[in-house]
Structure 1
């Protein structure tokens, strides 16, 4: 069993971060204990998609001889893309914990040029997850001498054949719409995983993890606001639940209020919907706790809350000038 093999080789996982190229007193990599608690079980993700990820990682672990027979480097590359706060970084940590691999987090802004990036890769070890976050932002804003071809060669160039085996490379982006297709082609990226904003299923997973709730009388209202187009990230919902963890009802009401404020705003979630997987490979109820007793709560229908919220917005907009109103639209 692959899972048994993973358990047998459990070891202290480390996080490596690259230093500036002119700061090499102790080498380019600084290591720290990797203690991130995220696991694939705690990630709020569509269950089928999560199972695909697990299956893909397990297949990779068993494929050393297969890769070598093909004359290919034993590595696997993933693109995680989606809006900020949707769990991409936590997912990287969960992958590393699942594999028991060290994590090499490469900050491209600290890379001086193409040769420097190659040397960083050569100094990494086997059984590692090599991560580059926000690659799309770097390609737009980059201020170093690192070239586009340097990034491509890092992803699948000859240096990859010289730096060892059993590596997982992970790249994160907010969007891949403006990325050169050369970066995304098979061989450089094996699997594309989209991380959407939350839907009701994701919300229920978060409510179970953060509040211990499998069901609640407010769940139908929460479901309605998500069906109505609510656009909240897992990070936003998580913060609300942490702040209101002693009062599940208050936490759910706060989620409903925050969700109603996002209804009608445009989002990439409308394009992609639930989390998705694209592979270029052939592998393919609990009672409220901690609340004070008092008068019985009445459950107001969401449509009434939405109507009230709309009236408040209209009243508010009548009190501000055109320039202020335009600013609000831009900020949204």
Structure 2
């Protein structure tokens, strides 16, 4: 028999086998096929003694990023493990800590480079004598159900493989070790972010609801804030005690959160105070725009997306929504007016005072921990007392006009001086006139490039002149107001005189 006849025989046999398998699959039940699959897998496991555990990047109905995946990512990015990988991904370390597996200088946003495992890469780890194999995987995401929630384009996950004899060691010791160490590395190297909620929302499209962010790089600290030193020290001590009070809050049965109400005239440093809080505690900042939130349900969903170690900020709370004690009365409108503005009213936020209170200290506020809720307002008297009572806004901090102690802080920041002969005159003027720290800082700022190297007397003189002009304007304004009041009284008396004379004549 020749070679051609032999290959022809094999081809005929293979074709017959494929035909028989197709007939089997068509006429026999799926249950039998599933049973055969189960037995086949058992046969494979008999000769393949390794167990695999996967850590998915996104989990849950809303597809939130898994904390376990993030911890594994940080753990594997450490230099002691990622140095064994051949394919790596590089990114700038915005924190400048340079704790990745490699570092170098560059002109990018950071001075160090973070290296992490690339897709389809594998590294080997060891723990208590056991060898463990980590691989970074990516695959197309297959979705067989219709969902209103967004889904990532690809499925990313880490796969951990190990011999089955190490199962108890991995489950009870190794995985907790990886998650704890990865979380610690992530907190050390994390870059703080400034979040804002999206301005559009559709109840049928979750993708329009959520937070977008940028890197938070505000340089403010409590040392640079123009405020009484004792008051600053009290605030700093309170913040540090809160950040270390996890066990205390658990013992007294309260959610680990604290409310701050910052109030005072515009330009007194409320936003700067928030930035200093974030820099002191190393917290992210969530700037919540209430007018962009559709309703109370959307507000709760935003709350669930906020991580721990966060400052939730609602600036100018008196202007965000109608949250004052006196509710606006419904005004009568003609049919034409209703048709004209009806579509605009539908777009307005339906967040209520009750919904905001639940957001602050209701049951939903306990979802998560280590959070500060900060309100700012220029007119504290306009706010509903229920909104700012103790227990919701635990600390009420008034940021008022600049005093002499605050001026000295600004003089040290802007001019680098602690004493000057003009300080006595400035102190006297500050006692006579209210001026905000923002106005003081503006006058201490050199107006021209050439003034930077000039004596500090130029800047101090600018401030003295501004204080004197502000004082004169105030006096002139009071005189004009007084003259207007007198003229109004005289006018009222003159208008009432003729009617009085007529009554007498009658």
Q: Same fold (TM over 0.5)?
A: yes
What is the correspondence of 1:177-326 to structure 2 with a 5 Å cutoff? Answer: 177-228=381-432, 230-244=433-447, 246=452, 247=454, 248-263=456-471
Question: Is 1:167 the counterpart of 2:346 in the alignment?
Answer: no
Alignment correspondent of 1:138: 320
RMSD of the TM alignment (CA)?
2.8
Alignment correspondent of 2:244: 62
SS in 2 for 1:89: helix
Alignment correspondent of 2:181: none
- 1:101 Cα offset (Å): 0.8
Q: Which has the larger radius of gyration?
A: 2
Task: Give 2:268's match in structure 1, choosing from 86, 91, 96.
Answer: 86
If asked which structure has higher relative contact order (CA below 8 Å, sep 6+), I would say 1
What is the correspondence of 1:3-22 to structure 2 with a 5 Å cutoff? Answer: 9=188, 11-22=190-201
Alignment correspondent of 1:283: none
CA contact (8 A) 2:288 2:312 kept: yes
Q: Where is the strand percentage greater, Structure 1 or Structure 2?
A: 2
Per-residue CA distance 1:263-299 (angstroms, 9 max, x = gap): 3888xxxxxxxxxxxxxxxxxxxxxxxxxxxxxxxxx
Q: Quick one: distance in 1 between partners of 2:446 and 2:192?
A: 31
Aligned length: 267
CA contact (8 A) 1:9 1:100 kept: no
SS in 1 for 2:426: helix
Structure 2 CA distance for partners of 1:154 and 1:261, relative to 1, 3 Å: farther
Structure 2 CA distance for partners of 1:136 and 1:264, relative to 1, 3 Å: farther
CA contact (8 A) 1:67 1:73 kept: yes
CA contact (8 A) 1:21 1:28 kept: no
CA contact (8 A) 1:114 1:150 kept: yes
- 1:139 Cα offset (Å): 3.7
Q: Quick one: distance in 1 between partners of 2:418 and 2:317?
A: 37
Q: Where is the helix percentage greater, Structure 1 or Structure 2?
A: 2
Structure 1 unmatched runs, 5+:
267-309, 327-332
- 1:12 Cα offset (Å): 1.3
Q: Quick one: distance in 2 between partners of 1:226 and 1:257?
A: 12
Task: Give 1:40's match in structure 2, choosing from 219, 222, 240.
Answer: 222
Q: Quick one: distance in 2 between partners of 1:155 and 1:21?
A: 23
CA contact (8 A) 2:200 2:208 kept: no
Structure 2 CA distance for partners of 1:264 and 1:140, relative to 1, 3 Å: farther
Q: Quick one: distance in 2 between partners of 1:9 and 1:85?
A: 34
TM-score by length of 1: 0.74
CA contact (8 A) 2:285 2:312 kept: yes
